[in-house]
């Protein structure tokens, strides 16, 4: 029997026109909300009946942890902001969401933009910030429009601007778009991009709370984290603690993709197991197949084996602590499922190719190590691998882990290490078979496309042809795409 969802951040997804201010104001905050706990009531409560320090203490006591990947206590993070320093403070909401497999934040910004804005008001009040920037990935055209529309509505109604709810607290909110760089999901690189600089990570210390945006105190929080705050203020810290586990209280959204019959967004209390999520909720892999591997927290989390192997870890509860025990990370909550027919060597190459492309090049381990791993994997896939390649991949990953400037290098290393830890035999078998392991392997470096075939010449995984895709979509970039990929001239 499938577990019951507890919808907070995803609540608005199931209510018609929840994105409209008129509907949000008349609708309860979440399924557990009591009479009168409607849109913007939590912000009114915080600003009119609580001090900033009391808000911080309530969020800290709730155990709310950052849902962007690190899992740091949110209230504790807010408490690091200086008090009565006479400087301007900033709140920056990280809506870049560039982790492959992750699509939770964009759901919130699309269907519940006012829930996010209410959380922003409360968080800004707590950290004594009068300016907030919502940093959104540049390709998310719809989410950018949705947030700008919601901000305009909030200003018109007086929820943003001067003297909110008749208090002396004022707040301005702006949407800032990025340019699609994965590295800008890292908070210091995001701040560099926000300031108009190249998206390079900065050394820490100083931390953003001391020297962040424009060299002023700044707190950076994930979209889903901020969207959880209104329910905590309305219902109290004890309500949030009643869900999940002691070390991972509350609930979070999971974005399930890959080989499942019902992929999508789900919101459950921490502690649901991978088996329950994959089989009971999502119907398992199509065709009655078993799960070979699963990535529980976005592409940077190490993959773990499923029930198609002798080391089944699908009973791992989805909590921060249990995922670490299983040798992986909960990360962004993006669950990527791979069935028993998946070529793990190909999957590893697909991941590493992404990180090699997205490396900003600032530090040597990541800049040199990620393309080196990609080239070794391509050699194996072409049937030209040698027996030393498995150890070489492990050594390169070890040389990157904890030695790169930011977590991008660690992410690439963990992706490779997870594949080698549990599926090294597949790498060794592909090397042993040599040319017979891949009858056809094509890699086009000019276009960045790849097609990989099994010995039967049946395609395992193929990317769509961008030229055909460009002809099918009605978008201003269509002609430019055709020109770029060798089709029609602009």
pLDDT digits (tens, 9 = 90+) for 389-426: 999 999 999 999 988 888 888 889 999 999 999 999 99
Query: Nearest Cα to 347, choosing from 279, 404, 422?
Result: 422
Whether residue 128 contacts residue 238, with contact meaning beta carbons closer than 8 Å, is answered with: no
- Residue 466 is predicted with a pLDDT of 46
Tell me which of 3.10.20.600, 3.30.2270.10, 3.30.930.10, 3.40.50.300 is the CATH number of domain 269-339. 3.10.20.600
Whether residue 31 contacts residue 209, with contact meaning beta carbons closer than 8 Å, is answered with: no
Q: 205: burial class by Cβ within 10 Å (0-12, 13-18, 19+)? A: exposed
- Residue 211 is predicted with a pLDDT of 92
Whether residue 322 contacts residue 307, with contact meaning beta carbons closer than 8 Å, is answered with: no
Query: Nearest Cα to 97, choosing from 207, 259, 275, 222?
Result: 222
Backbone Cα Rg of the chain: 23
Give the C-alpha separation, 26 to 324, whole Å: 41
**What are the domain boundaries of the chain?**
11-241, 269-339, 344-437
**Strand positions, DSSP E, 160-285:** 172-177, 218-222, 251-258, 264-269
Q: 179: burial class by Cβ within 10 Å (0-12, 13-18, 19+)? A: exposed
Say yes or no: do domains 11-241 and 344-437 share a fold: no
Collect the ranges in the chain with pLDDT lower than 70: 1, 435-490
| φ, ψ dihedrals at 62, nearest 5° | -70, -20
Give the C-alpha separation, 387 to 379, whole Å: 12
CATH number for the region 344-437 comes to: 1.20.1440.230
- Residue 84 is predicted with a pLDDT of 86
- Residue 437 is predicted with a pLDDT of 54
Query: Which string of b and e fits 230-249 if b means at least 16 CB within 10 Å?
Result: bbbbbbebebbbebbbeebb
Query: Nearest Cα to 223, choosing from 120, 79, 75, 102?
Result: 120
Tell me which of 3.40.50.740, 3.40.50.720, 3.50.90.10, 3.40.50.11540 is the CATH number of domain 11-241. 3.40.50.11540
**Token pair 């019959």: residue:** 261
* pTM of this structure: 0.85
């Amino acid at each position: 029997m499938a577990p019951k969802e507890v919808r907070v951040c995803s609540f608005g997804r199931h209510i018609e026109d929840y994105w409209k201010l008129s509907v949000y104001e008349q609708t309860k905050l979440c399924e557990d909300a009591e009479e009168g706990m409607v849109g913007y009531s939590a912000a009114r409560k915080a600003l009119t009946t609580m001090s900033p320090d009391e808000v911080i203490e309530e969020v800290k006591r709730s155990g709310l942890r950052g849902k962007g990947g690190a899992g740091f206590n949110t209230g504790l993070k807010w408490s690091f902001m200086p008090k009565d320093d006479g400087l301007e403070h900033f709140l920056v909401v990280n809506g870049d969401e560039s982790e492959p497999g992750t699509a939770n934040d964009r759901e919130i910004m699309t269907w519940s933009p006012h829930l996010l804005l209410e959380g922003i008001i409360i968080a800004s009040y707590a950290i004594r910030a009068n300016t907030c920037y919502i940093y959104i990935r540049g390709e998310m055209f719809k989410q950018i429009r949705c947030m700008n529309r919601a901000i305009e509505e909030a200003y018109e109604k007086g929820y943003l601007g001067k003297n909110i709810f008749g208090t002396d607290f004022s707040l301005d909110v702006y949407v800032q778009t990025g340019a699609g760089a994965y590295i800008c999901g890292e908070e210091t690189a995001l701040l560099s991009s926000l300031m108009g600089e190249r998206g390079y990570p900065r050394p820490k210390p100083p931390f953003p709370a001391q020297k962040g945006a424009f060299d002023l105190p700044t707190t950076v929080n994930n979209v889903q984290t901020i969207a959880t705050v209104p329910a905590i203020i309305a219902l109290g810290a004890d309500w949030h603690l009643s869900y999940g586990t002691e070390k991972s209280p509350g609930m979070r959204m999971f974005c399930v993709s890959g080989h499942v019959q019902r992929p999508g967004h789900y919101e459950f209390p921490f502690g649901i197991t991978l088996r329950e999520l994959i089989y009971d909720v999502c119907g398992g892999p199509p065709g009655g197949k078993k799960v070979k591997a699963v990535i529980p927290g976005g592409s940077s989390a190490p993959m773990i084996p499923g029930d198609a192997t002798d080391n089944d870890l699908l009973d791992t509860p989805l909590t921060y602590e249990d995922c670490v025990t299983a040798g992986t990370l909960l990360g962004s909550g993006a669950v990527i499922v791979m069935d028993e027919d998946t070529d793990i060597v190909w999957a590893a190459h697909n991941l590493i190719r992404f990180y090699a492309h997205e490396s900003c090049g600032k530090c040597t381990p990541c800049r040199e190590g990620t393309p080196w791993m990609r080239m070794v994997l391509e050699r194996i896939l072409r049937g030209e691998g040698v027996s030393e390649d498995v150890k070489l991949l492990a050594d390169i990953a070890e040389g990157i882990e904890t030695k790169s400037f930011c977590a991008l290098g660690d992410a690439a290393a963990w992706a490779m290490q997870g594949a080698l830890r549990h599926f090294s035999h597949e790498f060794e078998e592909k090397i042993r078979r040599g040319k017979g392991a891949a009858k056809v392997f094509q890699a086009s470096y000019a276009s960045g496309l790849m097609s990989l075939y099994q010995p039967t010449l049946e395609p395992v995984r193929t990317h769509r042809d961008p030229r055909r895709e460009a002809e099918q979509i009605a978008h201003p970039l269509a002609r430019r795409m055709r020109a770029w990929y060798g089709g029609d001239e602009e």
